[in-house]
Chains A and B, each alone.
Chain A
Amino acid sequence: MGRIAIVEGVRTPFVKAWTLFEDIPAQRLGAICVRELLEMTHLDPDLADEVIFGAVAQPVEASNVARVISLYAGIPKDKRAYTVSRNCASGFESITSALEKIRCGLDEIVVSGGTESMSNIPLIFGKDITKIFTRLNRAKDLAEKIKLFSQMRPHHFKPVAGIALGLTDPVCGLNMGQTAEVLAKEFGITREEQDGFSLMSHKRAISGRMKLREEIVPVMTGRDYNIVVEDDNGPRENQTIEALSRLKPYFERHTGTVTVGNSCQVTDGACAVLVMDEEKAKAMGYEPLGYIRAYSYIGLEPHKMGLGPVYAIPGVLKKAGLKLKDMDLVEINEAFAAQVLACIKALDSKKFAEENFNTSEPVGRIDIEKLNVNGGAIALGHPVGVSGSRLVLTLLKEMKRRNARFGLASLCVGGGQGGAVILER
């Protein structure tokens, strides 16, 4: 059996939540990608064995969103589909699961990817009032109903944002932004450094706009399909350091440095990639974008989840038999500027290596010129279940442009994990 190939991939534009894509449910975003992928590769839908899609917040009306996507995209009803969730690495997990399925001989052709509509994460009624409503529904007589009504209070009706709940880890009790603050303090990442990094992300995304179009399928939306979305709408053309510096810290009012400007954006989007064995791809006449050389997931303390990449990267390099300097391009998901910068510092720190990896050699230095060269989640957005797939796709496309040999993609994962994938061409 040969290597596992990523034959082709496509994604929707990444759009800020509650803007242009707010009325498109996640299953539709995913279906657009999968259908376009099938069209681009002129693959008969009959030949796709399985659809594996990553999603963090699945739509309440489309359980196992991968299945709904599969049927919407025209894949026959007798094919399989399931949805995976490894928080922010769900987009990775869909691809590595496909690899595992193919290696085990259970599938030959898999459509992987991710979909997320953060705009459509519901507002929730609190537990107390939900209980009252449920009992009301089952109440048998008027007396019981009146009793239940009398238990209602005005504060019951203030909705809770599901998205806020989702972005908070229940084990350590911190939300994602707060974990970034933990790292900012531990590694001494200044506000200026974070804002500067964010500005770079925007600048690179803007200048990379035409290149990014090569991986995007335009989406027509609006009442009469009169809005054609061809680009990500997160990147700001006129982003300035002054504008960034004016923002107040969002997660810690008085002592914080993490703002909405130097954090990833809340975003809607989807991505799909076609995964199959190298020999199968060649036999079908495809020229794959690239191949998966190695992958690795690790766990760490949830309150420092941002350091996930630092732990995952040494593992994947070892599996691949390569060094960090062998990587021609690197993508580290920009959950927060502080988090990426902390990872860069830790990877290059002798002390960190001694304390955590039992070796005096630091993992390596990441050349900033090779990192997130077309912008990252700070500018483009982080639809949480999708980003893993986007990193793989965008990395392979840029590797092709530069005729590069090896690429590294890595994510920190809410809940305390890290993931990393090495791609080769």
Chain B
Amino acid sequence: MRGRRTGRRGDLRTVSGMNTLNLRIEKEIAIIEFDQPDSKVNVLNTDTMRELDGAIDGILGKPEIKALLIVSKKAGIFIAGADIKEIEHITSADDAREKAENGKAVLDKISNSGLVTVAVINGVCLGGGLELALACKYRVAGFSDAVKLGLPEVKLGIIPGFGGTQRLPRIAGLTRGLNMILSGEMISGRDALKCGLVDRLFPEVRLIENSVALARGILQKTIRTGRKEKKKLFLVLLEDTPFGRALLFSQARKNVLQKTKGFYPASLKALEVIRRTYGKDFKAGSRIESEAFGELAVTDVSKNLIKVFYLNEEFKKLPWIAADIKPDKINKCGILGAGVMGGGIAQLVSFYDIPSRLKDINYEALKSALKTAKGLFDYALKKRILKRHQVDYKMGLISPTTTYRGFENTGIVIEAVVEDLNIKQKVFTELSRIVPPTTVLASNTSSLPIINIAQAAEYPERAVGLHFFNPVHRMPLVEVIRSERSSDRALATTIAFARRIGKVVIVVKDVPGFLINRILLSYMNEAGFLFEEGMDIRRIDRIARGFGMPMGPVELIDEVGIDVGYKVAKILESSYGPRMRVAPILEKVKEKGLLGKKSKAGFYLHKGREKEPNPAIFGLVGPSGSGHISDETALKRMIYIMVNEAARCLEEKVADRPQTVDIGMIMGTGFPPFRAGLLRYADSVGAGNIVKDLEVFEKGLGALRFKPCNYLIDIRDKMGGFYGTV
């Protein structure tokens, strides 16, 4: 580190020589400016904290300084948090605990300094950044939408370690503090002002100027601060009485368990820390926080969640196509096929202010789509994601029609008509005669080869697959499918469009089932076999959910629709051969007219939110095989068959690398992120173990589907993993 040099004397003295921080002094006010070199954001890593420590020491050594402002020179960013890379590399709980203690020591210097300290929040203020701001006596923020405050540590499997669990509930109130820490959610500058987390809001252009004036005013006692509104009686009862607090904590615990199903220890730990320390000695509470931070930082869950975080960030911008191929800008999106899918896509597109022209053959179908879209917007209204005037505007961007008029100037058309090759081909032919050659034609088919549909259109190179997952507004994944004729330009345009509507994109090969359904169906199919061998469907589902899958395979089949599932399974069987043999029970259930949730009866009988096994299915299986299957075996069969299929997909280059499989499974099916992905999980088990078990199943059941594929065997032989050597 370079030595310090003091600048010229006078009112404005600068101390240079630090890397990230810059210290300015204006008479009695010191200003520490954060500006991390070579980075768009400011993060608190070990070096920066050391610089901060030094700067504070320097300030404390000057008795003429009475106030300290902490500002950022980055546009739209205050401090985005701690350096995740440093957390990722922690291997011992003690190291982690020490890190937390050290960080707190620096921040406590600020809070104990006796100076008027003001954090000037001009943008993103998360994690350690917010903790730094909390250590200041006052916080001010700008009016811009870029201002976001939050403690998102639980999303990475840890808890705030720089005093957040101690300071946030004290400053913003127990309820608000708990909510923010347990959910990791971000709040706006205005909400922060409302709950007292922030003391003032100033216009961007005058943010620092006004903050300096505020500091001076506080020093000269000409400005009064502190809460203007008295705390509501209801909140006083809830937060400041032992009975109320007990209620609050117990309800919070219930909420956390319901959301995380007990798989994510961080939220529970954070809750425990706050429960044990709120209202008690600050120092003791800080130590408890460091202890808990240390324990969590070395858990597999945390390491895995950090891996998934990086994976997600990578795939948000992954360049699938060479950078010199520029995507077309889409000004209007055409959607063919109303109904629930079309309505969901129309709503998604409108949410992002893209006008859409929605066509179906009659008004009955259009009604269904508009109803779906409106329902989704009403939900957003209820959850305060959108305001009424925004919903009115966005809903009006969807223009329904029964003719092709209006498609002539669409940049992309998404085809979501019924899953029938002839109809899709007819539609592509008609469309291609109406739209210019540059319009991308994207099919949402889940089971038909894109090339077959594309060839029905003029200029088939502009046709791609754009496969959404259900429900469209919640599942972040889309598969963009490249047919053997798809042009780079069409792909680039589709990828850019999908990202514009908030989706995570993976590009996969044009094979039956593409990537995700092909893998997922083996899981659902296996459940059929397990049922035929005598397992209770509730047990099957419970075991899968116990692993972390959001839905068990049987309830998933009911959800998707047994006719739909059967149809796709049959297509996969005929494409991939006897190893993908459809479990006979599926056909039997379908023949009986039991279609699943949509007909209120499938494997389960559905009554509102409740379901119970449908007695009608018991008679469909004959006396079964081995009788008792252990939980472990059943789980292995369901999961390893997916691993095997995923390996085949890598072998056949359906997916380009294991990261694509993992992000796809997490974002498209809800595969548990705390396991970091299907193939990361496979690596943690070990290829050797997986192959061994698969061979046992293959022999024991005489089932071709368990035969380990070459790719998997290869990994085993090389003593490696999907992700390089383990």
* Residues of B with C-beta under 8 A to A45: 331, 355
* Residues of A with C-beta under 8 A to B399: 35-36, 39
Question: Residue of B at shortest CB range from A39?
Answer: B406
**Is A44 a contact of B406 with CB atoms below 8 Å?**
no
* Residues of A with C-beta under 8 A to B401: 36, 39
Bound complex: CA A221 to CA B577 (Å): 50
Segment 382-428 of B: residues with Cβ below 8 Å from A: 392-393, 396-397, 399-401, 405-406, 408-409
**Is A224 a contact of B363 with CB atoms below 8 Å?**
no
Pick out which of these stretches binds chain A: B88-96, B133-141, B365-373: B365-373
Question: Residue of A at shortest CB range from B353?
Answer: A74
**Is B371 a contact of A225 with CB atoms below 8 Å?**
yes
Q: A199 interface residue, CB < 8 Å from B?
A: no
Bound complex: CA A225 to CA B357 (Å): 17
Bound complex: CA A13 to CA B129 (Å): 58
- Among the listed B363, B370, B396, B406, which residue makes an inter-chain contact with A40, where contact means beta carbons less than 8 Å apart? B406
**Is A74 a contact of B406 with CB atoms below 8 Å?**
no
Segment 336-368 of B: residues with Cβ below 8 Å from A: 355, 357, 363, 366-367
Q: A351 interface residue, CB < 8 Å from B?
A: no
In the assembled complex, the CB of A159 is this many whole angstroms from the nearest CB of chain B, namely 26
**Is B367 a contact of A226 with CB atoms below 8 Å?**
yes
With A44-B331, A225-B370, A225-B371 given, is the CB distance from A72 to B396 under 8 Å? Answer: yes
With A39-B406, A44-B331 given, is the CB distance from A224 to B396 under 8 Å? Answer: no
Q: A220 interface residue, CB < 8 Å from B?
A: yes
In the assembled complex, the CB of B588 is this many whole angstroms from the nearest CB of chain A, namely 36
Q: A341 interface residue, CB < 8 Å from B?
A: no
In the assembled complex, the CB of B349 is this many whole angstroms from the nearest CB of chain A, namely 13
- Among the listed B355, B371, B400, which residue makes an inter-chain contact with A74, where contact means beta carbons less than 8 Å apart? B355
In the assembled complex, the CB of A374 is this many whole angstroms from the nearest CB of chain B, namely 23
**Is B405 a contact of A218 with CB atoms below 8 Å?**
no
Bound complex: CA A72 to CA B392 (Å): 9
Bound complex: CA A31 to CA B397 (Å): 10
In the assembled complex, the CB of B404 is this many whole angstroms from the nearest CB of chain A, namely 10
Q: B545 interface residue, CB < 8 Å from A?
A: no
> How many residues of B are in contact with the other chain, CB < 8 A?
20
Among A42, A72, A228, chain B packs the most CB atoms within 10 A around the CB of A42
Among A45, A225, A226, chain B packs the most CB atoms within 10 A around the CB of A225
In the assembled complex, the CB of B720 is this many whole angstroms from the nearest CB of chain A, namely 54
Bound complex: CA A226 to CA B368 (Å): 8
**Is A31 a contact of B396 with CB atoms below 8 Å?**
yes
Q: What does the 1/0 interface line of A42-66 toward B look like (CB < 8 Å)?
A: 1111100000000000000000000
Bound complex: CA A131 to CA B27 (Å): 56
Bound complex: CA A70 to CA B363 (Å): 26
Bound complex: CA A43 to CA B409 (Å): 8
Count: A-B pairs, CB below 8 Å: 49
Q: A280 interface residue, CB < 8 Å from B?
A: no
Q: A145 interface residue, CB < 8 Å from B?
A: no
Bound complex: CA A225 to CA B373 (Å): 11
Segment 326-340 of A: residues with Cβ below 8 Å from B: none
Segment 380-395 of A: residues with Cβ below 8 Å from B: none
Bound complex: CA A38 to CA B363 (Å): 20
In the assembled complex, the CB of A238 is this many whole angstroms from the nearest CB of chain B, namely 26
Q: B245 interface residue, CB < 8 Å from A?
A: no
* Residues of B with C-beta under 8 A to A38: 406
Q: B374 interface residue, CB < 8 Å from A?
A: yes
Question: Residue of B at shortest CB range from A222?
Answer: B367
Bound complex: CA A317 to CA B252 (Å): 80
Question: Residue of A at shortest CB range from B354?
Answer: A74
**Is A225 a contact of B374 with CB atoms below 8 Å?**
yes
Q: A28 interface residue, CB < 8 Å from B?
A: yes
**Is A74 a contact of B363 with CB atoms below 8 Å?**
no
- Among the listed A40, A71, A228, which residue makes an inter-chain contact with B367, where contact means beta carbons less than 8 Å apart? A228
**Is B409 a contact of A74 with CB atoms below 8 Å?**
no
In the assembled complex, the CB of B556 is this many whole angstroms from the nearest CB of chain A, namely 28
Question: Residue of B at shortest CB range from A228?
Answer: B363
With A72-B396, A225-B370 given, is the CB distance from A220 to B363 under 8 Å? Answer: yes
Bound complex: CA A402 to CA B357 (Å): 33
* Residues of B with C-beta under 8 A to A28: 392, 396
* Residues of A with C-beta under 8 A to B374: 224-225
With A35-B399, A72-B396 given, is the CB distance from A225 to B406 under 8 Å? Answer: no
With A31-B396, A74-B397, A220-B400 given, is the CB distance from A42 to B367 under 8 Å? Answer: no
In the assembled complex, the CB of A53 is this many whole angstroms from the nearest CB of chain B, namely 16
Question: Residue of A at shortest CB range from B371?
Answer: A224
With A35-B399, A44-B331, A225-B374 given, is the CB distance from A220 to B366 under 8 Å? Answer: yes
Segment 200-253 of A: residues with Cβ below 8 Å from B: 218, 220, 224-226, 228
* Residues of B with C-beta under 8 A to A72: 393, 396
Bound complex: CA A38 to CA B694 (Å): 60
Bound complex: CA A31 to CA B366 (Å): 19
In the assembled complex, the CB of A227 is this many whole angstroms from the nearest CB of chain B, namely 9
Given contacts A28-B396, A226-B367, 12 further A-B contacts (CB under 8 A): A28-B392, A39-B399, A40-B405, A42-B409, A43-B409, A45-B355, A218-B363, A220-B366, A220-B367, A220-B400, A225-B366, A225-B367
For the complex of A and B, list the 3 residue pairs with the smallest distance between their C-beta atoms, beginning with the closest. A39-B406, A42-B408, A225-B370
7 pairs from A and B in contact (CB 8 Å cutoff): A28-B392, A28-B396, A38-B406, A40-B406, A43-B409, A74-B397, A224-B371
